[in-house]
Chains A and B, each alone.
Chain A
Amino acid sequence: KAGVTQTPRYLIKTRGQQVTLSCSPISGHRSVSWYQQTPGQGLQFLFEYFSETQRNKGNFPGRFSGRQFSNSRSEMNVSTLELGDSALYLCASSLRTGESFGANVLTFGAGSRLTVL
């Protein structure tokens, strides 16, 4: 079956602009998580959505937001871009069946590489 699809793969923006990234999870996966990866900070958790609800949020400013649609596809938005937002943004999906979430494994997409000039 198809993997996790992220679009766009690469994009360049300038400071102050906003950006929207899209993620289509594996069919049947209801949870989508977003991570920011930078060389210096590793993989930082942004947020997780399950059944269109944000279940968890990392320590990022309010400029970072996201949502999930009824088909489980997810988008994240970053407004008023700063140079420090340049990073690889990774989306991952998982089954997250039932209320016991701990056991589920993440399948990552290839990422969207954002460069802010």
Chain B
Amino acid sequence: GQQVMQIPQYQHVQEGEDFTTYCNSSTTLSNIQWYKQRPGGHPVFLIQLVKSGEVKKQKRLTFQFGEAKKNSSLHITATQTTDVGTYFCAGRDNTDKLIFGTGTRLQVFP
């Protein structure tokens, strides 16, 4: 079945540093979604990308969908302590199940 891997698994950064997580699917995705889960919380939707090569920005967050629609990235500029959490990508497989990536846990030190 489809696998969605994310790297890195963990990332510790100093506040103000940049952060990037990468998402790779074993199959082509029709679209990709990103979610954030704060410690002790539940996943919350951030954004959805649909088009090949699409780039979307939300303030300090930049999301990109690969040309082949098999990978995606999330880049955070100048991290803040409020960015702490686990970031998941999610894509639908060929049976329309929404499969979540393995997640990247971000820790930001003040």
A103 CB within 8 Å of chain B: yes
A117 CB within 8 Å of chain B: no
With contacts A45-B97, A59-B1 taken as known, whether A102 is within 8 angstroms of B92 at the C-beta atoms is yes
- Chain B interface, DSSP helix/strand/loop, else mixed: loop
B98 CB within 8 Å of chain A: yes
* A42 touching B42, Cβ below 8 Å: no
Bound state CA distance, A108 and B99, in angstroms? 15
* B43 touching A90, Cβ below 8 Å: yes
- Chain A interface, DSSP helix/strand/loop, else mixed: strand
CB neighbours of A110 from chain B (8 A): 41-42
* A45 touching B98, Cβ below 8 Å: yes
B107 CB within 8 Å of chain A: no
* A105 touching B45, Cβ below 8 Å: yes
**Tally of contact residues, A, Cβ under 8 A:** 22
* B contact residues, range: 20 to 34
* B43 touching A56, Cβ below 8 Å: no
1/0 per residue, CB under 8 A from A, across B25-49: the answer is: 0000011010100000111110010
Bound state CA distance, A95 and B103, in angstroms? 25
A55 CB within 8 Å of chain B: yes
Binding site for A on B (CB under 8 A): 1, 30-31, 33, 35, 41-45, 48, 50, 88, 90, 92, 95-103
Binding site for B on A (CB under 8 A): 33, 35, 42-43, 45, 48, 55-56, 58-59, 90, 92, 101-103, 105-111
The 9 closest A-B pairs by CB, nearest first: A43-B100, A108-B42, A102-B30, A56-B97, A105-B45, A108-B43, A42-B102, A102-B92, A45-B97
Q: A45-B99, A108-B43 are in contact. List 6 more A-B contacts (CB 8 A).
A: A33-B98, A42-B102, A43-B103, A103-B31, A105-B33, A110-B42
